Chains A and B, each alone.
Chain A
């Protein structure tokens, strides 16, 4: 499926996403007060089934995800997904690790929404700016479940849905947490994205 995009289009997308998560890292750093490393080593385009299979093969059954819908020339949903077992660890990394467990559990929902919002907005806002388009984003929503649940949210997607699938490494306070960013788009949105990417490449080079 990666062949849908040309090498240069995929390069442009990878570059934008990396700029986005690096900005997000800088925002998180302000929140956390310590250095935050975020990197996206690889961007791939896969089918929905492939995305589900990748998560099922590599991760535990239960996952936690932060979900936001984006709308504009390109419409779809963005998800930041972690293994459920890493969720408290992530919150602890962000809050500093001195809080008692009860408080961390209490904060979990809010902290996940905030982290997800910063990272997903970092990516989407950077992409929107670089593509010179406006994207409207919904508020973050926390979801828990098996891999397939994240890719069959209502309203049902159109046929031929494509997932832009990214691995994200998250390192903070000696903790190393790996997660995924998934952006689900239908074919018309992917076609629109291709046009925008070509315009961007034209401007940049």
Chain B
């Protein structure tokens, strides 16, 4: 089954880069894009995606705050926070809110691991 992936990043280029990797890995999956936290929250209310990839470094609410909000609304949602900032505090906070942490620039391998894990979790059901 083709899943729907929400990509949240204020950088259009970064969204395009994730899109390229995703379509190489899973051509049958579809993407929903958001340029900021508010747009992402709109998508979560509409229930228009199955998993999410969220940039940490965004103006306004950062990716970790957004991840916490999203997971509070939709517990069990497979969600990855991506950042070049791999400080212990950031990685720990991601885990604490129930998100995965992926390092930026995103590699196909890291994305594949996240996607495989997400697929397993989604196929098991809530």
Contacts and interface: CB of A to CB of B under 8 A. Distances in A.
Interface of A: 7-8, 11-12, 14-15, 18-20, 22-23, 25-26, 29, 35-36, 39, 41, 126, 130, 201, 204-205
Contacts of A36: 87
A29 B90 CA distance: 11
A18 B84 contact: yes
A205 B11 CA distance: 13
Interface of B: 11-14, 16-17, 19-20, 57, 59, 83-90, 104-105
A127 to B, nearest CB: 12
22 contacts: A8-B12, A11-B12, A12-B13, A15-B13, A19-B84, A19-B104, A22-B83, A22-B104, A23-B84, A23-B85, A25-B85, A25-B87, A26-B84, A29-B87, A29-B89, A35-B88, A41-B59, A126-B84, A204-B13, A204-B16, A205-B13, A205-B16
* 9 nearest CB pairs, A to B: A22-B84, A22-B85, A19-B84, A205-B16, A35-B89, A204-B17, A11-B13, A29-B87, A15-B11
**Interface SS of chain A: helix, strand, loop or mixed?**
helix
Contacts, number: 52
Nearest to B21: A204
B13 A26 contact: no
Nearest to B17: A204
Contacts of B85: 22-23, 25-26
